[in-house]
A and B are shown apart, each in its own frame.
Chain A
Amino acid sequence: MEIPVIRNLLEANEREANTLRTRFAQAGVLVLNLISSPGSGKTSLLERTLTDLKARYRMAVIEGDCMTDNDARRVAATGAAAVQINTDGGCHLNSAMVGQALAHLDLNALDILFVENVGNMVCPVEFDVGEDAKVAILSVTEGDDKPEKYPRLFQEAKAAVINKIDLLPYVDFDVAKASAQARALNATAAILQVSCRSGEGLDSWYAWLDAALAAKRKG
């Protein structure tokens, strides 16, 4: 006998994500889910942001990694609150993990919460953690065809940050090609070029954060 069911396989994750989204909305916190391959500079971008915007915003970070609290310690060195989640080999954060991490944070004392996902451009895209926006990060030491290879991330991310542009003279990365691919997948996403090492372009990222927070507060 056939029984029709029609239930979303990710419904447990999405139910919890919606609960988190309500909590984030009540506290007026902008939540950004940072997704990239390992080594693209997610933690470096956070270190710069947390340091440069310290006087402007109250910020905290939830760090996802398979193992170690290395990233949480790097982030905490800037003075921001950091909570480490170890997935013990898991390839993405899910909403239950982020919910548990919130026990260590006071949402009402925050303007922006960054969730640094496990370095991986596939699964983290599928698991909603209640964020306002996904941010894709891509560095110029990687292939310039990443958007084409991982389309769903670039389709969904509201901003694509191209990092390490200080290295452009030494690598074959074609910024125009990567940008065109990202644009083809998402006509409205911001495409930002930055170097966390030299600081070049970070103003554009900070302006994007200002606008995203203002939009969130406006509802």
Chain B
Amino acid sequence: MHEMSIAQSLLALVEQELQLRPGSRCTVIRVTHGALANLVPEAFELAVEALTIGGPMQGVRLELRLLPLRLKCRACGHEFEPEQKRLGPPLYPCPQCDEELGHTLVQGKELFLESLEIETD
């Protein structure tokens, strides 16, 4: 359900950007989300659709880009992108030295509006 609050924040940001460019219309919204941002694409698309029906942004297309999880090994400092596991214990052995514990998260929690496609009258 938090997709609805995130969609509201997103549309508020888009409106701010459009106000800076009078007479423009947004046709595509590009959002980048990390693998750990817990964003469910289907729920997010539905929320954006529901919030734009009947308004100036009705029919806007949402393009989502997923950033994979990226970790830095505690033991050897090697950076790697483990396969996101659905099954099994949450252990991500370093491909260089096999260390499983204590890695630092380098990428995966991002959630941002990346760009807009706009048309101007």
Contact = CB atoms under 8 A, between A and B. Distances in A.
A125 interface: yes
A184 interface: yes
Given A3-B17, A123-B38, A126-B38, A91 B1 contact: yes
Interface in A66-96: 89-92, 94
Nearest to A147: B90
Interface string A1-23: 11111111111110000000000
Taking chain B's interface residues, is the majority helix, strand, or loop, or is none over half, making it mixed? mixed
Contacts of A6: 112-115
Contacts of B51: none
B38 A155 contact: no
Contacts, number: 90
A7 B113 contact: yes
Interface residues of B, number: 34
A125 B39 CA distance: 12
B67 interface: no
A122 interface: yes
A168 to B, nearest CB: 21
Contacts of A37: none
A13 B74 contact: no
Contact of B111 (A10, A147, A155, A181): A10
A183 interface: yes
B38 A10 contact: no
Which 4 residue pairs across A and B have the least CB separation, nearest first? A123-B2, A187-B102, A91-B1, A3-B116
6 contacts: A3-B118, A8-B113, A9-B10, A10-B9, A89-B1, A122-B38
Interface of B: 1-2, 5-6, 9-10, 12-13, 17, 21, 31, 36-38, 74, 88-91, 100-102, 105, 109, 111-120
